Structure formats: C-alpha cells, structure tokens
C-alpha cells in the first residue's frame, strides 16, 4: 500500500481565503492550531476544503471537518461523512466507500483500489467472453428482508450502477447545481469520466461501456466505436440508458427488447424471456414507477455484439445486435437523484424546491433499510443529518422502524433528526418541515 499524501487545505470564510500545505502545519504548529480552532468555532461561516483535486463550484465537495480533543486541546482534520470517495486516491482522506456499511455488503476483493487511482470490480459475469459462460445464480435484491446476510462474492449490475452514480457525484445535490441543468448528456459525460478509473477484472470499463446519447451527439460516435471494438475482441457490453416514456408501444417492445429512450449508436438488443421475467420480478417497483411516468434508468450486460450487413439503397449497411444476459433498473428524479419509493420522490422534490443541500445514500446490493433515505448537509452543527421516510405499517416494518428510531435517537438525540410517517399521510399534507438550513 502506497504511503498516503497530505495535500494543502483551503480555509474560506468571512476573513477571506487562505491556503496552507503540509509544511506549514509542521513549521507553524501554533498558527495551524489557531486556524483550526477558528474554523471549528465558526463552522457555520468557515469552510475547510482539501485541495487534493482542483477546486470545484460546489464548496462542500471534499469539505473537511475539525475535531477537537478535550484531553489535549488539539485539533485535527477528518473527512465529512459520505465524502471519502471524492478525494484523490493517494490522499490521506480517500476511501473507496463513502460509508463503511457499503463495504460490509461484499467480500474484501469485490472492489479493490489499484495503483493510479483505479478501482477493480468483480461482476458475476466478466466482460471478456470465455469459452463457456458462467452459471448465473439469481439473487433477488433483499427488500424488507430481516436477518444477517452473507457478504456477496461479486457486485451485481445494480451495485455497479450505484458505484458509478456515487463516484460521479450524481447522488449529491446542492442549490448551486440549478445554474447548470442536469440533462442526459451531462450524466453520460460524468459516467464516462468515472468509468475511466474502473476496470471489470482486467478489462477497462470504458472499452465496454455504452451510454445514453441523442442523435448526432459525440457520444454516438463513441458508442459505435465501442460496439466495433467489443465485437472484434469478443467482449461483453455494459449499457446505461433510460427507459422510453411508457406507452402501449413501449410496453409491447418490452416483450422482445429493452424499450430505451436514448439509444443512438446502440446495437439492437434481444431480451430473452428469462431475463425479462427476472427484471419484472426483482424490479417490480421500478416497473410500476415507469408505468406511472417516472424516469427510470436501466443498466444491462450483453453478450459480445454480432454484426451483419444488410442491403439498403444500394449499399451494404452494418447492423449490430446482441443478447441481454442481465439487467437492472433504478428510478430517478428529474435531477437524476435515485429514488427508492414514491414517497422519497415527494421528499426529494420538496428538498429541491426549498433549495436544500443533500445526499442520497446508495444501498448497492445491500438491504435498503440499513441506510437513511437522505441526509441533509446544510444543517448547522452537524455534517449529515438523516431524513427517514416510513412508508408502511406492517408488523415487521414497524419492528424495523423501532430499531432505526432508537438508533437515531441515541446518535442525534430524540427529535433532532427528521422523519415522516408517510403511511399515515400518503399525500404529504402533513409532511414535517425540514430542519433549518445554514444561512
């Protein structure tokens, strides 16, 4: 393991902006401590940021918090919750996982940090076509299942989609983002940037990744090049797009293919009956969201593409096609924030309307009731305040609710975290107000 590096940090507040490096901390320890204590005493107006990456418009990205030891009266820096993955891989604040509970989902070698800042991910079916396909064992996502689960030996497609979303920062929202609308091309650009740092086994993900694209956009040419390269190298493909707006025609297309809405440069997809049945069974909520008009992302893995030439207008035109071997769905908001229920969509919409800064923690292939539904990052006195939506009242669900309530009460104090009993208020008429934000 390479030695972690200490990067300069930036203090930004009412006194202006100052930067200091590792040498300043050792050469001027007393001044360094004064700066830290000032930042701690004025944390509502002073932001400390790690400069391991170029500064961004979002001042909360790679923000650091100041701790104080009551025993020694000395301060030190640590990363904020859910932000470790934002740092450079060699930075001492870097972490593969934004939350340690996500790491507990998998065995230790499912996601590994490699030299050069790359992540190496193990999928159930690798990208390089082998002589004989691996036997696929279906594992239905655990939704509402209690009890301890064994660590999973590989990351499924939903987990990969969550990894890409989180590493790209698309699950994070800040009011400043409204100045630059999130649109499909932006999402594809972010995912492509992240994919450059990920390998599936020995294969760079970018060599097999195809992303949603509109006609005549630069992504179309990249998609076509990916198909050509994968066909020649006998590589499987990973495709990410969004389902077309639901209508009778789209529902009919689902009987034999994935009805994608943004698929320029994609090969034709053949959807086998077993994959379609597995998709309907494991992602029934997302399918229902799609039918009621919600935006639903899809990720699929296919066998290597096959290309044939068809005669059209006196020319030989290449036509590529491939068979889908697995797929997963993820409902998102208009801002591409992942959503696990209709109630979460109502909360996310109100957070956006009230110009709040928040994160949507992602469960990967774990149990969704382990993580808060959202966390606010703009509440004075805390780095990440949980928001919980309780949407059912079955005996099993109420038991889990009691456990979760006790945990948050002990962690934050009774009444000092946000909750909404949506089961008793399905239209949100009495949704509680959010905790006041930092001004």
Answer for the pair 277, 332: CB distance below 8 angstroms, yes or no.
no
Tell me the CA distances in angstroms from 17 to 46, 142, 418, one per residue in order.
9, 47, 34
Answer for the pair 169, 86: CB distance below 8 angstroms, yes or no.
yes
For residue 36, the Cα-to-chain-centroid distance in whole angstroms is: 32
Mean pLDDT check: name the lowest of 52-61, 228-237, 299-308, 386-395: 52-61
On whether both 263 and 319 belong to a single domain, the answer is: yes
Last residue of a domain, one of 332, 359, 385: 332
Cα distance between residue 388 and residue 343, in whole Å: 10
- Rounded to 5°, the CA angle 59-65-71 comes to 165
On whether both 207 and 286 belong to a single domain, the answer is: yes
167: in domain = yes
Last residue of a domain, one of 29, 56, 86: 86
On whether both 257 and 191 belong to a single domain, the answer is: yes
Cα distance between residue 156 and residue 158, in whole Å: 6
What pLDDT band is residue 148 in, cutting at 50, 70 and 90?
low
pLDDT for the residue numbered 133: 46
pLDDT digits (tens, 9 = 90+) for 23-80: 888 899 999 999 999 988 887 788 899 999 887 666 667 889 898 888 888 999 988 8
- Residues 6+ away with beta carbon under 8 Å from 140: 281, 282
Choice between 5 and 258, residue whose per-residue pLDDT is larger: 258
pLDDT digits (tens, 9 = 90+) for 342-384: 999 999 999 999 999 999 999 999 887 778 999 999 888 787 8
118-121/111-114 β-pairing: antiparallel
138: in domain = no
Per-residue pLDDT for 309 more than 50?
Answer: yes
On whether both 208 and 315 belong to a single domain, the answer is: yes
On whether both 251 and 200 belong to a single domain, the answer is: yes
pLDDT digits (tens, 9 = 90+) for 150-182: 789 999 999 999 999 999 999 999 998 988 889
Give the mean pLDDT of 380-400.
Answer: 89
434: in domain = no
For residue 47, the Cα-to-chain-centroid distance in whole angstroms is: 25
Q: Which residue has the tokens 């499987």?
A: 236
Q: Rounding to the nearest 10 degrees, give the CA dihedral for residues 67, 68, 72, 74.
A: 70
Per-residue pLDDT for 97 more than 90?
Answer: no
Q: What is the DSSP letter of 115?
A: G
What pLDDT band is residue 1 in, cutting at 50, 70 and 90?
very low
337: in domain = no
On whether both 303 and 348 belong to a single domain, the answer is: no
On whether both 323 and 179 belong to a single domain, the answer is: yes
What is the pLDDT of the chain when averaged over all its residues? 89
Q: What is the DSSP letter of 235?
A: B
DSSP, collapsed to helix, strand or coil, labels residue 72 as: coil
DSSP, collapsed to helix, strand or coil, labels residue 293 as: coil
On whether both 210 and 298 belong to a single domain, the answer is: yes
Answer for the pair 157, 326: CB distance below 8 angstroms, yes or no.
yes
Q: How many domains does the chain have?
A: 3
429: in domain = no
Burial class (CB in 10 A: 0-12, 13-18, 19+), 99: buried
434 token code pair: 């959010």
Supply the range of the domain harboring residue 69: 9-86
Mean pLDDT check: name the lowest of 23-32, 297-306, 329-338: 23-32
- Give the DSSP per-residue string, 364-411: TTS-GGGS-SEEES--TT-S-EEEEEE----HHHHHHHHHHHHHHHHH
On whether both 225 and 367 belong to a single domain, the answer is: no
135: in domain = no
Q: pTM score, two decimals?
A: 0.85
- Residues 6+ away with beta carbon under 8 Å from 429: none
On whether both 184 and 290 belong to a single domain, the answer is: yes
Last residue of a domain, one of 266, 297, 332: 332
pLDDT digits (tens, 9 = 90+) for 260-285: 999 999 999 999 999 999 999 999 99
432: in domain = no
On whether both 82 and 220 belong to a single domain, the answer is: no
Per-residue pLDDT for 113 more than 90?
Answer: no
Cα distance between residue 351 and residue 77, in whole Å: 29
On whether both 237 and 327 belong to a single domain, the answer is: yes
253: in domain = yes
């Amino acid at each position: 393991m390479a030695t972690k590096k200490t990067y300069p940090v930036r203090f930004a507040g009412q006194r202006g902006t100052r930067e200091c490096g590792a040498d300043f901390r050792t050469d001027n320890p007393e001044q360094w401590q004064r700066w830290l204590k000032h930042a701690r005493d004025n944390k509502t107006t002073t932001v400390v940021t790690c400069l391991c990456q170029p500064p961004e418009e979002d001042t909360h990205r790679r923000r650091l918090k100041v701790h104080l030891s009551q025993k020694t009266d000395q301060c030190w820096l640590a990363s904020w919750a859910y932000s470790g993955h934002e740092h450079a891989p060699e930075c001492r604040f870097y972490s593969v996982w934004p939350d340690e509970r996500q790491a507990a989902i998998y065995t230790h070698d499912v996601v590994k940090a490699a030299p050069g800042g790359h992540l190496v991910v193990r999928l159930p079916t690798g990208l390089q076509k082998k002589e004989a396909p691996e036997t696929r064992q279906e594992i239905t996502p655990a939704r509402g299942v209690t009890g301890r689960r064994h660590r999973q030996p590989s990351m499924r497609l939903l987990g990969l989609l969550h990894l890409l979303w989180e590493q790209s920062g698309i699950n994070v929202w800040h009011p400043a983002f409204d100045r630059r609308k999130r649109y499909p091309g932006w999402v594809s650009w972010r995912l492509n940037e992240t994919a450059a740092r990920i390998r599936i086994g020995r294969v760079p993900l970018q060599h097999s990744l195809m992303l949603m694209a509109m006609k005549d956009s630069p992504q179309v040419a990249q998609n076509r090049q990916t198909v050509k390269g994968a066909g020649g190298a006998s590589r499987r493909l990973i495709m990410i797009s969004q389902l077309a707006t639901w209508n009778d025609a789209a529902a009919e297309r689902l009987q034999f293919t994935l009805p994608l809405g943004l698929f320029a440069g994609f090969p034709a997809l053949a959807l086998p009956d077993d994959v379609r049945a597995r998709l309907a069974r494991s992602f029934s909520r997302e399918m229902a969201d799609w039918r009621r008009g919600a935006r639903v992302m899809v990720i699929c893995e296919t066998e290597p593409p096959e290309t044939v030439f068809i005669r059209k207008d006196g020319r030989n035109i290449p036509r590529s096609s491939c068979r889908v071997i697995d797929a997963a769905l993820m409902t998102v908001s208009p801002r591409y924030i992942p959503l696990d229920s209709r109630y979460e969509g109502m909360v996310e919409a109100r957070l956006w309307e009230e110009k709040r800064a928040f994160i949507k923690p992602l469960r990967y292939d774990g149990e969704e009731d382990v993580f808060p539904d959202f966390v606010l990052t703009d509440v004075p006195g805390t780095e990440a305040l949980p928001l919980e939506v309780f949407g059912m009242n079955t005996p099993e669900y109420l038991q889990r609710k009691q456990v979760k309530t006790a945990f948050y009460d002990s962690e934050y104090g009774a009444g000092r975290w946000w909750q909404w009993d949506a089961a008793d208020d399905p239209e949100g008429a009495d949704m509680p107000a959010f905790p006041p934000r930092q001004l």
